[in-house]
Amino acid sequence: MKPENSAAIPGPTIARVSSATNPKLDKRHDKRVKLTLEAGHAGNAMVMHCQGRIVFGSEARALSTLVAEVLPSARRMVVDLAEVDSIDSGGLGELVLTHLWAEAAGYALKFACPRKSVRQLFEITNLVSVLDIYSSVPEAMVAMVQETAQEDIHCA
């Protein structure tokens, strides 16, 4: 499976699909979380495209596991939520833990393109004040580059 490369962030794509549930046992298998990685050019950031639902259990764990595997070498990642249908409390918790882990380790992790229902969930749970959420992947990439430039200025 190879996703289409974004025109805004061209580059090679690494595909990895998570089959978090058994399709023979779960009639909702078409909603399993699917994760694909795309190499970006802005500051060597990766983009993780998520599709389906991020819910308690193996689906939410698949996302955090992939972030934990890739972020130490990439150091910067945008999680594209444009194709996420729903997130439950377990999924929200996993996103927060992943964000806190990345921040503590000195990595940049941004979230982009949440659908209206997912954005509203972030707002009513006040996670907009915890997670770095942007309306588009390019906007998140620009923010990452600007933060890196500011860090370089402070270090000099």
Q: Is the pTM of this model over 0.85?
A: no
Q: Which residue has the higher pLDDT, 60 or 148?
A: 60
- Tell which CATH classification among 1.10.10.10, 3.30.750.24, 2.70.170.10, 3.40.640.10 matches the domain 13-155: 3.30.750.24
The pLDDT of residue 13 is 45
The pLDDT of residue 152 is 52
**67-74 long-range CB contacts below 8 Å, 24 or more apart?**
67/98, 67/102, 67/109, 68/98, 68/101, 70/37, 70/46, 71/46, 71/102, 71/105, 71/107, 71/109, 72/105, 72/107, 74/44, 74/45, 74/46
Q: 15-55 pLDDT, tens per residue?
A: 454 444 444 444 444 568 899 999 866 666 899 999 999 99
Is residue 150 predicted with pLDDT exceeding 90? no
